Structure 1
Amino acid sequence: GEGSRIDLSMFESTVSWLTQPITHTVTFKKKVTRRGNTHEFFAPVSVYETKNGYVYIAIGNDRQWETITKLPGFESLYKKEYERNAGRIADVENLNRAINTITRTFTTEALIELFHKATIPISKVNTIEEVVEDPYVKPNLLRAKDPKTGLEVTLAPPPYTTDFLKSTQRTLSFPPRFGEHNEEVYGGLLGYSSEQLQGLKEKGII
């Protein structure tokens, strides 16, 4: 086979996530507004507070909703008008407030266990401290050490770990200070003499 050139910009990658908003705006001439963590077509879908943090709950069909209304502590959510997704969407603000009132009485861990047993989609909302301690994230963090101060900077892991990063144990060289490598570059790579370098310094060129 033959390889092909791939041009992939950060901007294009970000825009590609606007699947529904672009279709609704261009095709159906519908004004799209910010929705926070909610979903335009399904409810309840949002972030809810717990005793010790936050969880994200995503109900995608009426069967899941029926299940949640039968869970211990959630029975009060049942309403005839909520049996269908359209009814929940129509009253989503009141619905989310009611759910939040209930989830605050549970710890994150207890709520996740309860929902998992009922096969209802739920996830913990992690803090940054918890993210970096994740067993998948932690070993893939990048590091760079300042040779002058000894400060070690931790950086987010890349989306793909290259062979180069593996060969350096995910350690990067520290960004150079202004003019730090002048002698190495001008003298070593370009062959400038010490006198020439000094002349450039005196003229304010480097």
Structure 2
Amino acid sequence: MKKRTILSMEQALSMPYATLRFAQLGWRVIRIESTPAGDGLPGDPNRYIGARVLDDDRRSYFFAPNVGKEAIALNLKDPQGQALLRRIIQALDVDVFCCNTVPRRYAQLGIDYDTLRAAKPDLIWAGISALGPDYPDAPGYDPVLQAMAGYMELTGDAAGPPTLAGVPLIDLKAGDEVYANVLLALLERAESGQGRRIDVSMLQAATSWLITTLPLLDFDCDPGEITRCGNEHRKFIPTNVYPTADGFIYVAIGSDVQWKRLTELSRFASIANPTRATNEGRHREREAIHRDLAAVTQRYPTTELTADFRTATIPHAPIHDIPAVRDMEAVHRRLTTTAMPDGRTIHMQPMAVDLPEAHTALGLPPRYGQDTLRVLREAGVDQAAFETLRAQGVIA
């Protein structure tokens, strides 16, 4: 696979996650951050969130999404900074430009598709925003979008409040859409020679996942089908978290055959009856089934129940905490890593999919502006011009 160059004016999580996936392919990813403005810490605010890992601008929350990248600082409010951006795109033969700022700022900063396409006609341009360019001022924060897109309405106990998911799903979904659509655009460019503009609306991307709920509105669904149901499945009974003698276990019965296998286990024979033989019948006795099943599971240790369910091929899982997830053999051997200056290995999330020649050991995330000089030299900026630009606040 040909290695590509990605130039990304990125911050927070959605776009950094997208470009991380390109860095994992071994592609060159150059982050653009703003020059100091005098009213706060410079660059990506996420640099300063979490525990101090290396230095003040590479803290724990910033770390994993930004390994394997370079970083430059440009003042894109200055016409000279905008000219430098176009120069870098041309000189470094940049394949893809990315950004995740509000669309209102595209033209102001000289990063709009038409301006950059004029500098490099086959450029692929990808932007993430809250609601797309039709809503140019809407900020895109994952929790706000989880509320707006109905995720919070669907998450949590039926008797409790709307609840955020424990993972920033919409940030990550938007990043995955950039990754997929950039790859598609590169494929099409190889055939046509043309670039493309890609606008990812976080709201649209998020609502594309409402495949099990939103279409039900046209089927005169019961209100209970499109609201919170705790850990239950809305359709398959029983699917829920059940207490054990020493914790919890998740059990998912997805068919009548699985129900039959469950109730053929000696521990669970007492919960069977003719009505419950079908999923439709189990719906009618939903609450009683959950009570009956919990009454059995709470008497036994998780390991004993796991052994039973494995023997009967019943879908199940213990409720792992994050350390336990990392220690699972299927996960641990696929973790990505980076090496600290003192030689310690930092373990991070695995790649989504194993790929040949992928980079699973990546360099440390860059310090703020650490590659500005080197990248500008590649673009033909000499030392005297560099010093002048720095003195004028065009670069940092």
TM-score (norm. length: structure 1): 0.74
In the alignment, which residue of structure 1 is the partner of 2:369? 179
In the alignment, which residue of structure 2 is the partner of 1:157? 350
Check if 1:144 corresponds to 2:338.
Answer: yes
- In 1, the alpha carbon distance for the partners of 2:201 and 2:305 equals 37
Alpha carbons of structure 1 residues 153 and 74: separation in structure 2 relative to 1, 3 Å = same
Q: Which amino acid aligns with 1:111?
A: L
Check if 1:195 corresponds to 2:388.
Answer: no
Alignment of 1:65-80 (within 5 A): 65-79=259-273
Per-residue CA distance 1:96-135 (angstroms, 9 max, x = gap): 1332232122222211211233343333333222222222
Coordinate RMSD, CA, aligned = 3.4
- In 1, the alpha carbon distance for the partners of 2:333 and 2:201 equals 25
Per-residue CA distance 1:126-152 (angstroms, 9 max, x = gap): 3222222222222221123455x7675
Q: Which amino acid aligns with 1:34?
A: R
Q: Which amino acid aligns with 2:309?
A: F
Task: Say which of 248, 251, 254 aligns to 1:60.
Answer: 254
Q: Which amino acid aligns with 1:156?
A: Q
Match of 2:212, SS state, is helix
Unaligned stretches of 5+ in structure 1? none
In the alignment, which residue of structure 2 is the partner of 1:126? 320
Alpha carbons of structure 1 residues 192 and 119: separation in structure 2 relative to 1, 3 Å = closer
Q: Which amino acid aligns with 2:386?
A: L
Q: CA deviation at 1:160?
A: 2.2
Task: Say which of 122, 125, 135 aligns to 2:329.
Answer: 135
Check if 1:23 corresponds to 2:215.
Answer: yes
Aligned sequence identity (%): 28
Task: Say which of 295, 299, 304 aligns to 1:101.
Answer: 295
Alpha carbons of structure 1 residues 60 and 171: separation in structure 2 relative to 1, 3 Å = closer
Bigger Rg over Cα:
1
Unaligned stretches of 5+ in structure 2? 1-185, 190-197
Match of 2:213, SS state, is helix
- In 1, the alpha carbon distance for the partners of 2:255 and 2:235 equals 10
TM-score (norm. length: structure 2): 0.42
Check if 1:33 corresponds to 2:241.
Answer: no
Q: Which amino acid aligns with 1:24?
A: L
- In 1, the alpha carbon distance for the partners of 2:294 and 2:275 equals 19
Q: Which amino acid aligns with 1:162?
A: L
- In 1, the alpha carbon distance for the partners of 2:245 and 2:259 equals 23
Per-residue CA distance 1:142-189 (angstroms, 9 max, x = gap): 123455x76754321122233442xx4x11222222211122122x31
- In 2, the alpha carbon distance for the partners of 1:13 and 1:52 equals 40
Number of aligned pairs?
Answer: 198
- In 1, the alpha carbon distance for the partners of 2:384 and 2:344 equals 34
Check if 1:113 corresponds to 2:307.
Answer: yes
- In 2, the alpha carbon distance for the partners of 1:162 and 1:64 equals 35
Alpha carbons of structure 1 residues 130 and 13: separation in structure 2 relative to 1, 3 Å = farther
